[in-house]
Chains A and B, each alone.
Chain A
Amino acid sequence: MSTDGYQTYYVPEKSRLPIFMAIGLAVTVIGAGTMMNDLTAGVEDSSAHWVMFTGFIIIAATLYTWFAKVIAENHSGLYSGQLNRSFVWGMGWFIFSEVMFFAAFFGALYYVRNLAVPWLAGEGDKGISAMLWPEFQAAWPLMETPDATQFAGPKEVIHPWGLPLVNTILLLSSSVTVHLAHTALKAGNRARLKMWLAITIVLGLAFLGFQIEEYAEAYNELGLTLKSGIYGSTFFMLTGFHGAHVTIGAFMLTVMLLRAFKGHFTPQEHFGFEAASWYWHFVDVVWVGLFIFVYIM
């Protein structure tokens, strides 16, 4: 076979970045674990959170250096088309792993809502567990938990047609605007790229703002908290992890906007931007699932 025209696949020299990343992760989890144990045990003068923050700083500094290096290597022409395809596969499968993470929580929601709670109230073959709390009635959202002394149920839950609907509109439009930014980039219109990208970020931040407002309302007025039984557990874990992902996605898009201002990306090659926009679309799709299964149904 002829290897003419084969551009060598760039294999980087030895690197210090991964070991710093591993140390950062280890420091973070040791700090986080100790902090949570101290919190639960009621230790007053715990300083474990500083360990965790140190870990965060190590991770942040390493990631910054790492990405800067990758971008610089790319700009200096070391990367072949084949290497870029490795990034494409890598990002695609990373998003798939995130999908499976959310699947675990959606699966838990489905199970408790359609199986466990009805069984606990005496329905069907497995209704024998009703003998634990004979008074318990199945309902969703679950306002009265089986044992209200341990887990006081919420007074009220968030209704879908207020803030959540606004948030749905915000996030769905942001998917459109990030797509418009991509189209503009491919057409070589950098002014429009920056404009649509900035609008996307603003929409994402607005979403996060409303989400915070919703959480404040839930905690302060509705009695809907992490501790208010299984409805609160699934509600906050699903929306909370989604919110965390929106935050990461908005951060990624902000980096892309700064890079656009620095003159990065060409109409042909801009996978960094594309990866961030894939992530944004993924976060958006998760929200649609949330809006339907957590808020409406």
Chain B
Amino acid sequence: MSAVLESHDHSHDHHGPAKGWRRWVYTTNHKDIGTLYLWFSFIMFLTGGCMALVIRAELFEPGLQIVEPEFFNQMTTMHGLIMVFGAVMPAFVGLANWLIPMMIGAPDMALPRMNNLSFWILPFAFALLLSTLFMEEGAPNFGWTFYAPLSTTYAPSTVTYFIFGVHIMGASSIMGAINIIATILNLRTPQMTLMKMPLFVWTWLITAYLLIAVMPVLAGVVTMMLMDIHFGTSFFSAAGGGDPVLFQHVFWFFGHPEVYIMILPAFGIVSQIIPTFSRKKLFGYTSMVYATSSIAFLSFIVWAHHMFTVGMPLAGELFFMYATMLIAVPTGVKVFNWVATMFKGALTFETPMLYAVAFVVLFTIGGFSGLMLAIAPVDFQYHDTYFVVAHFHYVLVPGAIFGIFAGVYYWLPKWCGNMYDEKLGKLHFWLSFVGMNMTFFPMHFVGLAGMPRRIPDYALQFADFNQIASVGAFIFGTTQLLFLFIVIKTIVSGKKATAEVWDNPEGLEWTIPSPAPYHTFSTPPDVK
């Protein structure tokens, strides 16, 4: 007892951070942990990006050029896993850590030590996953969706490390999500009712709920794989009465909510940014909340639209087709609200706004191709082609990743107290915009013409579009080094930002100085 009490004697003087590496390893501060998440995610973004460039270099010409097909498979698999679990998800958790306590007037996250644990599991999990690249049998090579029996009967032995890596990163996500929910529900300043919360907080509340609901299902499905591989069960083996299709059902029950986990926080970011640069209130706040909730609900009953060609009863095909199309309704509400917010606004186009507007336009393209894929009979043509690759990269790159870029440019001055270089920011935007569209737009065409995904070689007729895509990929990839430069330059030598940063933005985070002090809102602030 006394030893414990002693360690709290200095609890009243903990206003500044600790020095050196201990600050980052032992920290319980939401801002430190947010920073850790964001840097980790950026490192993973570059790692996964390099893998994408290996893929695009190989596909620059038909025929086998640079890598062995086995290694190509490892690259497609690891690229997907790293971008989904290592880049996009941690970036959003990092933003949540930085922003949610400041937006709701909380002193920190609800469970600060667990918050640190959620982060520090990730470097170990991804070191384990990446180490498989250097093992004798090579990294997992069965695609990021790891369908059985490719990932069980025919998998390299490194699949075991992949499974355990997924287990611990899942634990990290669940703890992170519990922390976010507890923070939002319990630590809001008393006058901030639920319907007064900023939309970023709302979308994260719903995202956290989705995470807690589906990460355990992912843990369940990889556990079944583990048992099939090492302990002789027959979940995914028809010889024992199981079914490989069972894998796909359980996986996509996780996987479809997962894609909304990767987009809802971006919806929230864009809903914060567009009103600021339109100098208007967000159009249809209440409908935004209900639309987000509807999307989350629908995400649980549409999973089998990923599996139209696997062999389902007709009733199943029809149900999942119509349920999927329903998602267009709440999503349409959101897009309409963003456009209506801009309508007759006093618009300016600083970098965050450019990213937000590009988000609205390009995410909508990804949404429309999603509707095409939702139509079961035509999906038989599109399934497993580059059209699918084009579709999900349009929702993930200009959707999730542009959302993250927009958020970073918007709040970076609040975090580090300095303004980023607007010219360079715009250059980063336009290069990313051009590079990204060059990469993924031609994939629609080769996909519709029948080029299959995940194959290192292709028919001669697809060569032109593939060359354009590869050039675009290298433009987009190298541009991200510019982003790194801009962020470092802002931190080191940007000119001082004001507390408000922007022109009369809404939200509690703009009422505190820039950079935000190490501890904010130790007593709850007033809200109008």
- B223, closest chain A residue (CB): A237
B217 touches A101 (CB 8 A): yes
Contact segment of A110-118, A162-170, A177-185: A110-118
Task: Kindly list the 4 A-B residue pairs having the minimum CB-CB distance in the complex, ordered from nearest.
Answer: A104-B220, A151-B240, A230-B241, A227-B232
Residue A86, interface by CB 8 Å:
yes
A76 touches B4 (CB 8 A): yes
Interfacial residues of chain B within 224-281, with CB under 8 A of chain A in the complex? 224, 226-227, 229-235, 237-243, 245-246, 249-250, 253
A41 touches B157 (CB 8 A): yes
Shortest Cβ distance from residue A113 to the other chain B in the assembled complex, whole angstroms = 9
Interfacial residues of chain A within 15-65, with CB under 8 A of chain B in the complex? 15-19, 21-23, 25-26, 29-30, 32-34, 36-37, 39-41
Contact segment of B10-18, B77-85, B193-201, B409-417: B10-18
A229 to B190 Cα, complex, angstroms: 56
- B242, closest chain A residue (CB): A230
A146 touches B246 (CB 8 A): no
Residues of A within 8 A of B111 (CB): 86, 90
Residue B110, interface by CB 8 Å:
yes
Most buried by A among B25, B233, B313: B233
| Interface membership of chain A positions 6-17, coded 1 if the CB is closer than 8 angstroms to chain B and 0 otherwise | 101101111111
> Tally of A-B residue pairs with Cβ under 8 A?
259
B250 touches A108 (CB 8 A): yes
Residue B504, interface by CB 8 Å:
no
Contact of A237 among B29, B177, B224, B313 (CB under 8 A): B224
A103 touches B217 (CB 8 A): yes
- B180, closest chain A residue (CB): A93
A89 touches B185 (CB 8 A): yes
| Interface membership of chain B positions 25-64, coded 1 if the CB is closer than 8 angstroms to chain A and 0 otherwise | 1111100000000000000000000000000000000000
Given contacts A3-B524, A19-B26, A100-B217, contact A33 B163 (CB under 8 A): yes
A140 to B232 Cα, complex, angstroms: 20
Residues of A within 8 A of B178 (CB): 89-90, 93-94, 97
Most buried by B among A15, A39, A85: A15
A139 to B128 Cα, complex, angstroms: 42
Residue B88, interface by CB 8 Å:
no
B224 touches A108 (CB 8 A): yes
Residues of A within 8 A of B241 (CB): 112, 116-117, 120, 142, 145-146, 151, 229-231
Contact of B110 among A23, A37, A76, A89 (CB under 8 A): A89
Residues of B within 8 A of A155 (CB): none
Contact of A86 among B18, B110, B212, B227 (CB under 8 A): B110
A11 touches B168 (CB 8 A): no
Residue A96, interface by CB 8 Å:
yes
Residue B502, interface by CB 8 Å:
no
Chain A contact residues, CB within 8 Å of chain B = 1, 3, 6, 8-9, 11-19, 21-23, 25-26, 29-30, 32-34, 36-37, 39-41, 66, 68-69, 72-73, 75-76, 78, 82, 85-86, 89-90, 93-94, 96-98, 100-101, 103-105, 107-108, 111-112, 115-117, 119-120, 124-126, 129, 132, 142, 145-147, 150-151, 225-227, 229-234, 236-237
A18 to B26 Cα, complex, angstroms: 8
A226 touches B231 (CB 8 A): yes
Contact of A75 among B1, B23, B25, B186 (CB under 8 A): B1
A37 to B526 Cα, complex, angstroms: 58
B246 touches A111 (CB 8 A): yes
A11 touches B246 (CB 8 A): no
Shortest Cβ distance from residue B18 to the other chain A in the assembled complex, whole angstroms = 6
Residues of A within 8 A of B165 (CB): 29
A13 touches B168 (CB 8 A): no
Residues of A within 8 A of B191 (CB): 1
Residues of A within 8 A of B522 (CB): 8-9
Most buried by B among A8, A76, A101, A227: A101
A104 touches B250 (CB 8 A): yes
Q: Taking A93-B212, A104-B253, A229-B240 as given, write out 4 further A-B residue pairs in contact, using a Cβ cutoff of 8 Å, ordered by the A residue number.
A: A1-B524, A86-B182, A147-B240, A227-B233
A19 to B4 Cα, complex, angstroms: 19
Given contacts A40-B229, A104-B216, A107-B253, contact A112 B243 (CB under 8 A): yes
